[in-house]
Structure formats: structure tokens, C-alpha cells
Amino acid sequence: MINGRKSKEIYEHIRKHGVVSKIELLEKSGLTGSTLTRTLEELTNQGFIAEAGFGESTGGRRPILYTINSDYAYVFGLDISRIYSKLMLFDMQMNRLEAKRWVMTEQTTPQVLLEEIAAEAEAMLLKRGLTGDRVLGMGIGAVGPLDRESGVLLDPLHFPAPGWTQVHVTEFLEQRLGFPVMLDNGANTALIGESWSDRGRDYRHLLYVHVGVGLRSAMMTGGHVVYGAVDMEGSIGQMIIQTDGPRLWGQGNYGALESYVSIPALEQQARSRLKQGRDSALQRMERDPDLIHFAHLQQALQENDPLTVELFTQAATYFGIGLSNLLNILHPEKVILGGAVIGSHPGFFHIATRAAIQRTYYYPKYQVVFSQGSLGDDALAAGAALMVINRLSVV
């Protein structure tokens, strides 16, 4: 942990900008030259930062440049999701060093997955010639609901394997690996990651929405994730779009958004249309409608199958309606959309965002930026790693 508010501010400024001159730090910090020099020496001696050569001269001496010491420590980011899970190893500059991905199957119980994660983390360190004491920690972005403080996955739904309830994930991994482990829901860590990747823009209010097996969302204001009284990652899925509409798995709200926009909803709708006799390329892929899965829908989209395009267009429109409700309540400056459904077809993003804008009350006075992010499938794990690094300089 970095000691002292000014030291933390200086470290964070260097982190944010990558390479910073001493002159710029003098202007930004408000410190005297001697105090800044002493602070930079302390951070350098402790290994947090390193000199990075000299900048361009403006008439006098060339200014010393500083950057984050990438070799100070290493950090793991872990994404635990229903379709796949991913472990990644980063240095302090968030350079991706190693990665391992697991497809979640009916055999991937918590015990199986966590054992494999621990073994893989040890293998990654061994490959790099690193020991556990060089690791700052592991951050986990997982499917909620969960308890961040106790590090427990409470009762997340729809994992393909049994046993995913009351999983003490941080305790298990800390005991196996010997370094700190932090837990948060995956929407929050994805937003942390995407915010970091776009840190040059200084957006004050950010919204992240992930559409996959369920709907997951997160909000950030002033660089900090907004937390509710309970873990609210999946709450957006229960937004009511039509009061007499369907509901998934016989639970939750009738006419909830996830009943129209999610992988299970799309699978269910495709099966229903095929049973009604609709013609589709899906019939060529699988004769039994009940065996149609999202992978078939993705393939049919690539073939521009009319029925599948129709289903995704309808889902995108419903999603845009739900998104407009969020815009009218939260008024974010930027909205980042992720997940398998969003990324399944370029048309989905454009239809959804257009539908959302058409229903946004203060538009065009209120302008919002829509993005599919820059980290892709790495967003959750990268943000989880950043969550650990951020602890170094909490002011």
C-alpha cells in the first residue's frame, strides 16, 4: 500500500497517463520542487514507479520522465461466468502475460473449477519464474448474487453444473494460493476494465449492460462503482416491459426484460417458431426443435437466416426499450454494451441503440455515447485485476 495522500495522487496520475514528466507532476501536484523530488524518490525506491528517460527540452534541462514499474508485482484477474470462465495474469501496467479459458459444462462444479484455477495460477507463475510473494492478489468478477465482503457466491442461477450455491470462492483460493483474493460481480469488474481502457476521456457517469444467459448491469459515477444495499447485478433483467408477458423458468416478474432479451429467451422463441412450422436454416442444423441452442442461432445469423434475423431484431428492439428506461432514470454520459447477444450480430447493437434514443426524453439536448467497449471478452477479468491494483492507491 502506498502511504500518504499526495503520494497516492502522484502514483494515480502516472498510472492514468502512462508516462509523465516531472514538470507536469510539479504543476499538477501543487507540491514544492523539493517535496515532489522526495516523494518521487520514495516511490521509486519502493519500486512503485521507475524513471523512463528524458522528455523534450523547453529551453532548460530535459525533464525526467516517470512510469509505473511494471515489474513491481503481478496480479490475476478471474472471470467466473455461466458459459465460460477465464483466468488472466497481468503486470502492473496491465500487460496481458498469460490466459486460460474454461468452457462451463455439466461437469464444471465449483470444486472442479476452483481446483483447476488454482493449479493453472501456479502453473502460470512457474512458467514466468515467479513466486507467490510477487503476486499482489487475484480479483474475481463473477455471476451474482454474491457477497463481496465475505467472498461468497450466494445462489447464482443457470450454471450448467450443480453446486453453485454458497460457494466460498475467496477463502478457497486464498488458502490454496497464499495471496489476497477479492470478489465483485462481473458487471462491476467489466465496467472497471472498460473505464480504465478509456481513461483519457474522463467520463463522469458510465453505465455497463451485459446481455448473455441473463442481463447484468453496473453504474459508475466519478470513477467509483455505485453499490446498492444488495448485489444488484441482475436487477435489470427483472425490469417489466409488458405486464402480461411471459417469464423465464417460471420465476421472476411476468413480462420482464430477460424474458425477451437473453440467450434462453432467444432459444425458447426459436424452438417455438420451428414447432409452429416456420421455415429456417435452423432445421438443417438440428431436426429436433428442442435441441436448438444459441450456437445454432449464431450460425444461422451468419447465414442471414430470415427467421433468426427476425428474432434478434425483435429482441434488440425490446432491449432498446429497456435501455431507454435506464437512460431516462440514470442519464449516463456513456453506455457500454457487452455480452454474447450484443456481439452476435452488428445489427443488434444498432437497432437497440436507435430504439433507446428514440425513447429518451431529453434527446437531443441530452447526448449519450454508446460503445461495445474495447476489451471484448477480456473485460471482466481485466477489470477484476484492476480492482486489486486500485487498492494500492485508495485515497
Answer whether residue 393 shows pLDDT above 80: no
Q: Which one of 27, 53, 68 terminates a domain?
A: 68
User: For the residues 328-350, what does the mean pLDDT come to?
Assistant: 92
118 shares its domain with 178: yes
327 shares its domain with 270: yes
Q: What is the pLDDT, as a whole number, of residue 314?
A: 95
317 shares its domain with 210: yes
11 shares its domain with 39: yes
353 shares its domain with 205: yes
Report which of 148, 153, 174, 151 is spatially closest to residue 81, judged by C-alpha positions: 153
183 shares its domain with 162: yes
Query: What's 282's domain CATH number?
Result: 3.30.420.40
* Cα separation, 225 vs 205, whole angstroms: 10
Q: What is the pLDDT, as a whole number, of residue 207?
A: 95
In DSSP terms, 181 is beta-bridged to 138
Task: Supply the mean pLDDT for the chain.
Answer: 91
Q: What is the band of 62 on the pLDDT scale with cuts at 50, 70, 90?
A: confident
Window from 35-44, 184-193, 331-340 with minimum mean pLDDT: 35-44
Answer whether residue 36 shows pLDDT above 60: yes
Q: What is the pLDDT, as a whole number, of residue 395?
A: 47
Tens of pLDDT, residues 133-185:
999 999 999 998 899 999 999 988 889 999 999 999 999 999 999 999 999 99
| 3-class DSSP assignment, residue 71 | coil
Q: How many domains does the chain have?
A: 3
Q: Which one of 68, 94, 119 terminates a domain?
A: 68
Which grid cell sits at 222?
A: 466519478
Q: What is the pLDDT, as a whole number, of residue 172?
A: 97
277 shares its domain with 384: no
User: For the residues 197-219, what does the mean pLDDT come to?
Assistant: 89
| 3-class DSSP assignment, residue 113 | helix
222 shares its domain with 261: yes
Q: What is the pLDDT, as a whole number, of residue 247?
A: 87
Answer whether residue 30 shows pLDDT above 90: no
How many distinct helices (H) and strands (E) make up the chain?
12, 16
Q: What is the pLDDT, as a whole number, of residue 229?
A: 73
Q: What is the band of 58 on the pLDDT scale with cuts at 50, 70, 90?
A: low
Window from 47-61, 193-207, 376-390 with minimum mean pLDDT: 47-61
Higher pLDDT, 4 or 92: 92
Q: What is the pLDDT, as a whole number, of residue 59?
A: 62
Q: What is the band of 269 on the pLDDT scale with cuts at 50, 70, 90?
A: very high
Residues in Cβ contact with 24 at an 8 Å cutoff, skipping those fewer than 6 apart: 63
Residue 217 · residue 336 · CB < 8 Å: no
Higher pLDDT, 16 or 187: 187
55 shares its domain with 142: no
Which grid cell sits at 161?
A: 453444473
263 shares its domain with 367: yes
The whole model's pTM is what? 0.89
Range of the domain at 321: 201-372
